[in-house]
Amino acid sequence: SLALNMYFIIAARFIIGFASGISSVLVPIYLGELAPPTLRGTLGTLTQFAMVVGILVSDFFAFPFATESKWRVLFSVTAVTAFLQLFCAPWLLESPRWLLSRDPNSRRARYIIKKLRGLRYDHEVDTEVDHFVSAMKAQASLSELASLSDDPLISSKKPSKHPQQGAGYAEMFGDKNVRLLVVSCFVLQMTQQLCGINAVFYYSTAIFNGVISNPLVGTTLVGAVNVVATYIALLLMDSCGRRTLLLWSTGGMILSCVVLVLALLHYLSNIYALVAVMVYVTFF
């Protein structure tokens, strides 16, 4: 918001994007390790829902501040949010699972578990600690079994012991038991970014220019559709399955992109561009 020229904006945008990428990976992991088993899945899915709600809120901020005289105020919202997060940081607790993985006798981990779970007695805390430690030992044992087993059913369910030892990417790619899993993770993450969703969000104003009178309204509609579609996906996730939803999502996005390109090339009416973007975001 205090940038002197475009180079400052580019550098700041790079830093913000780097920090956002780190937090988008760490926050679900952190919440999953803090939450009790009954709430772990709910908190994990709510993270994505909170992100799309944040995008919609930023769209609403654009109406009063997305002008030549007030754009710095709009950018300062990011800084204010960051300062609020830093202010709340002292109240964040370390992951008890991470602490126990380094030291099974960690007294700090036991204190955090007691505080998070609302436990009153030490034997209750010890029982919870035993659950953490047993789960980590079981995972390590199954990983070692998978690395020694030739049964593809066992090997495909659990990775080998190499990732448990902090091995590098080269060793994971060299391990036939986890190679397919690692490649799948890379491909899914890459396609999520390269599918065109960033272009739709960043250039939605330009796409809607000439389609509706106020392009900001179209951008806000995209954000609202994103929130509704994410909520519907959360409801369908357990009943329909992740793989089924992923395949339907990919197919719908492909068809939407074809219609959007045809509309932008003026082979179709401009209204089809608006519809294609909405359908695209819905399937995403």
Confidence of residue 165 (pLDDT cuts 50, 70, 90): very low
Q: Is 166's pLDDT higher than 50?
A: no
Average pLDDT over residues 67-71: 80
Supply the pLDDT for residue 148. Answer: 53
Confidence of residue 81 (pLDDT cuts 50, 70, 90): confident
Q: What is the pLDDT of residue 138?
A: 64
pLDDT at position 194 is 78
Highest mean pLDDT among 37-41, 99-103, 158-162: 99-103
Mean of pLDDT over the chain: 77
Instruction: Assess whether pLDDT exceeds 50 at residue 268.
Output: yes
Task: Answer yes or no: is pLDDT of 187 > 70.
Answer: yes
Q: Report residue 147's pLDDT band, with 50, 70 and 90 as the boundaries.
A: low
Give the range with max mean pLDDT: 127-141, 144-158, 171-185: 171-185
Q: Is pLDDT of 145 > 60?
A: no
Question: According to the model, what pLDDT value does residue 154 have?
Answer: 45
Range among 51-55, 62-66, 189-193 with highest mean pLDDT value: 51-55
- The whole-number pLDDT of residue 143 equals 55
- pLDDT bracket for residue 214 (50, 70, 90): confident
Q: What is the mean pLDDT of residues 179-203?
A: 78
Supply the pLDDT for residue 111. Answer: 83
Q: Residue 151: is its pLDDT beyond 60? A: no
More confident residue, 235 or 27: 27
pTM of the model: 0.67
pLDDT recorded at residue 16: 86
pLDDT score at 139: 61
What angle in degrees, to the nearest 10, is found between the helix axes of 242-264 and 215-240? 160
Residue that the structure tokens 């007030």 belong to: 70
Q: What is the pLDDT of residue 257?
A: 85
User: What is the pLDDT, as a whole number, of residue 162?
Assistant: 43
Identify the band that residue 144 occupies on the pLDDT scale cut at 50, 70 and 90: low
Specify the higher pLDDT residue, 196 or 146: 196
Alpha-carbon gap, residue 120 to 48, rounded angstroms: 33
Q: At 103, give phi and psi (nearest 5°).
A: -150, 105
What is the pLDDT at residue 141? 58
The confidence score (pLDDT) of residue 238 equals 66
